[in-house]
Amino acid sequence: MKRIIVLGATSGIAEAVERKMAAGRHELLLVARSPERLAVLREDLLIRGATQVLTFVADFDSPADCVRLFDFARQSFPDFDTVLLAYGSMPDQEQCKHSIDLTARQLHTDFVSAACILTLFADYLEERKTGCLAVITSVAGDRGRRSNYVYGSAKGGLSHFLEGLRARLHASGVRVITIKPGPVDTKMTAHLPRDTSFASPMRVASDIYRSLQRGRPDILYTPRYWRYVMLCVRALPEWIFKRQHKI
């Protein structure tokens, strides 16, 4: 049985993973912005089998909230061993393109705030020499695309941050898992036209849950075939890549 903290617990992917965790009878601390939705989620997961479910209301954009959350976790949910960071937002690139404000806010939510909160949890786990930090980034972070480079760069930055963190924590035995889903059929991607590349949250969740159980791999592409797709995409030379209008 694990003690798991889920950051961004009301997101589509997170909820699907939480149901797996509940069925596995783990103990959970759920963190999100909406107290009403957290309350609904808590009851649901308890009925689905979770041993214990705590909730905490926090806005990850606010550093003060992050610190409050960390203190709460240490005091009320001690000895937690797994942290899943599942929040994120996908901006409308068209709007971001010419707005300093939107771009800055986006980078803050998807990269800066995540890096800050991971710093707090990394220190805690490193000291205890055990545990697992799993963070949902995106295949979009593997390459800067014209259609989505603000989101992509934030997620790419986060992936790099995790790469460094993994190396740092390796000696202490703390696992760091970078989760890179392809497009998933959730409310974050609501504004995008659906095509066959969209995976269901359940599919992605079972991959994530399995990797949390095992503490590996370092980088999880889900569904799995994205590993090979991105291998090809990354291999495209820049002089070709910059001329691609569709991606």
126 near other proteins, rule: CB under 8 A: no
Residue bearing tokens 């404000």: 101
CA distances, 167 to each of 78, 126, 222, 231 (Å): 25, 12, 22, 22
Q: Which is nearer to other proteins, 61 or 163 (CB)?
A: 61
Among 3, 4, 5, 12, binds other proteins (CB under 8 A): 12
Among 3, 4, 5, 10, binds other proteins (CB under 8 A): 10
Q: Quote the CA–CA distance of 42 and 27 in Å, as a whole number.
A: 11
Q: Which of residues 92-121 bind other proteins (CB under 8 A)?
A: 109
Nearest to 96 by CA among 160, 154, 10, 157: 154
Extended strands (E) in 33-114 = 52-57, 82-85
Q: Which range of residues in 75-83, 119-127, 160-168, 186-194 is near other proteins by CB under 8 A? A: 186-194
Residue 89 is given by DSSP the state -
33 near other proteins, rule: CB under 8 A: yes
210 near other proteins, rule: CB under 8 A: no
Q: Which is nearer to other proteins, 49 or 217 (CB)?
A: 49
Q: Which is nearer to other proteins, 109 or 153 (CB)?
A: 109
133 near other proteins, rule: CB under 8 A: no
Neighbour-count burial of 71, counting CB atoms closer than 10 A to its CB (0-12 exposed, 13-18 middle, 19+ buried): exposed
Extended strands (E) in the chain = 3-7, 27-32, 52-57, 82-85, 132-136, 175-181, 219-222
Strand partners, 172: none
Among 194, 216, 224, 234, binds other proteins (CB under 8 A): 194
Nearest approach, Cβ of 45 to other proteins (angstroms)?
A: 9
Q: Quote the CA–CA distance of 156 and 160 in Å, as a whole number.
A: 6
Q: Which range of residues in 148-156, 173-181, 193-201, 215-223 is near other proteins by CB under 8 A? A: 193-201
127 near other proteins, rule: CB under 8 A: no
Binding footprint of other proteins on the chain (CB under 8 A): 7-12, 32-34, 36-37, 40-41, 43-44, 47-49, 59-61, 86-90, 109, 186-188, 190-191, 193-195
